[in-house]
Amino acid sequence: MTETARTPAELGALTQSLLDDLALVTDEPGRVTRTYLSPAHARSIDLVGGWMRARGLTTGLDAVATLRGRRDADGGGAGRIVLLGSHIDTVVDAGKLDGCLGVVASIVALEEIARRGVRLPFAVEILAFGDEEGVRFPSPLSSSSAATGTYRREWLDVRDRDGISLAEALRAFGCDPARIGEAAIDPARVIGFLEVHIEQGPRLEDWGLPLGVVTSIAGQTRMGFTLEGMAGHAGTVPMGLRRDAFTGLAEIALAVERIGREGTSDLVATIGRVAVLPGAGNTVPGRVEASLDVRAGADAPRLVALDRIRHQAERIAKKRGLTVAFERHVDVPTVAMDDGLQDAFARAVLSLGLDTRRLPSGAGHDAMAMARRFPAAMLFVRSKDGISHNPREWSDPLDLGLAVEALIRTLLQLAEQERAR
């Protein structure tokens, strides 16, 4: 029997309560940290998989530990499918919304579609990816890459801080790396991938709008680099004779910041993780391992900045008697979102009586990997003060409910288009 449609406020309250429950699943008591293939990741799969099954979805785990929840087409359908979702891994000391919103909003949307008795002529699969952030292993977007058949085998050899390789971690999780190819979804069957995500920036708030449609996702390069000098006694090695890897890094870090500032307005360059080795207060650092993350709205300014950073790092290292080596982990070009799906999202937002604006994304998302093979689009939800990758990340639950309703209405449009095919 068809039940009364829930209001956006009700949908938002339900979404928020599920997000609150998911945020309790963490590897670090007192804060939200849920990295790929960790014990908390396993528990989050149990929790979210249980929510999916309770709503009539069939669930499974693919070879890279992406949780998939499927609703079959009503009336058999023509074998086509709409993909929804986002990621359930988090950064260290995360908020509750980044990634998780896209998974939870999709679950609430399918629940509501069932309550309203709406029939869909295509299957819908919700994908809860486990490795979007690339925090434990330097392999961001690896799980969505597997879904597109573009997984890079060399990721299997990368190691976490405890020396465990990604292949070993997958096996310990019950996944078989030899079967990663089977995680690829046939593009011929896919109508599109829709990802709801918080904006993680301030523009929607500035415009006074709860929702926005994403036009493109900024390209990103993520690297590791190592500076090698000479460890020595902090009390005896004279200042003039030191080959201190950490002070070399400090000078390089300032060059990275300067190059970031000198580029186009959307160029950003970040060193976010540093290991100083051997890591003793009375030892001159002999080795430093650091990360580098460079992004821009277009590819050319990012590539120019990378060249400049390498050149400066090599110059500074040479001047200080150090060696520097770079290792590129990820290089994803700027990706445009699908025009037709953007329009479908925009019409859904408009039908809610809201103004629609379009905006590019500076953050990376699973949609950038999915767009390699499938039409992909994203709906952004206003973030309070633009804060993200921070426990203060917050969106008004009413905005979350509006996003769920917009997702439902987008699916209804796709259903109409599918019936008209």
Question: Does residue 278 have a cis bond before it (omega within 30 degrees)?
Answer: yes
Instruction: Report the residue number, 229 or 364, with the smaller CB distance to ligand GLV.
Output: 364
Q: Does 130 interact with Mn ion (rule: CB under 5 A)?
A: no
What distance in Å separates the CA atoms of residue 413 and residue 362, rounded to the nearest whole number? 28
Closer residue to Mn ion in complex, CB, 203/242:
203
Query: Which is closer to ligand GLV, CB of 106 or CB of 388?
Result: 388
Q: What angle do CA 191, 196, 202 make, to 5 degrees?
A: 140
Longest dimension (CA), the chain: 82
Report DSSP state, residue 322. Answer: -
201 lies in the binding site for Mn ion (CB under 5 A): no
- Interactions with ligand GLV, residue window 340-369 (CB under 6 A): 363-364
Please name every residue paired with 224 in a beta bridge, in sequence order, or none if there are none: 291, 327
- Cα 4 to Cα 2: distance, rounded to the nearest angstrom: 7
Q: How far is the CB of 83 from ligand GLV (least distance, A)?
A: 19
What distance lies between CA 114 and its chain's CA centroid?
28
Q: Could you tell me which residues come within 8 angstroms of residue 355 by beta carbon, excluding any fewer than 6 positions away?
A: 207, 209
> Three-state DSSP class for 177?
helix
Q: Please choose which of Mn ion, ligand GLV, none residue 364 contacts, taking the beta carbon within 5 to 8 angstroms, the exact cut-off set by kind.
A: ligand GLV
The residue among 122 and 129 lying less far from ligand GLV, judged by its C-beta, is 129
99 forms part of the interface with Mn ion (CB under 5 A): yes
* Closer residue to Mn ion (CB): 112 or 293: 293
State in angstroms the smallest separation of the CB of 336 from Mn ion. 19
Instruction: Record the tokens describing residue 72, joined without a space.
Output: 């079959």
Alpha-carbon distance of 398 to 9, in angstroms, equals: 5
Tell me which stretch binds Mn ion (CB under 5 A): 90-98, 103-111, 294-302, 411-419.
90-98
Angle between helices 8-23 and 39-54 (to 10 degrees): 150
Among 89, 111, 131, 133, binds ligand GLV (CB under 6 A): 133
Q: Based on CB atoms, which residue is closest to Mn ion, 122 or 380? A: 380
The stretch near Mn ion (CB under 5 A) out of 40-48, 95-103, 273-281, 303-311 is 95-103
- What residues line the site for ligand GLV (CB under 6 A)? 133, 363-364
Give the footprint of Mn ion on this chain (CB under 5 A).
Answer: 98-99
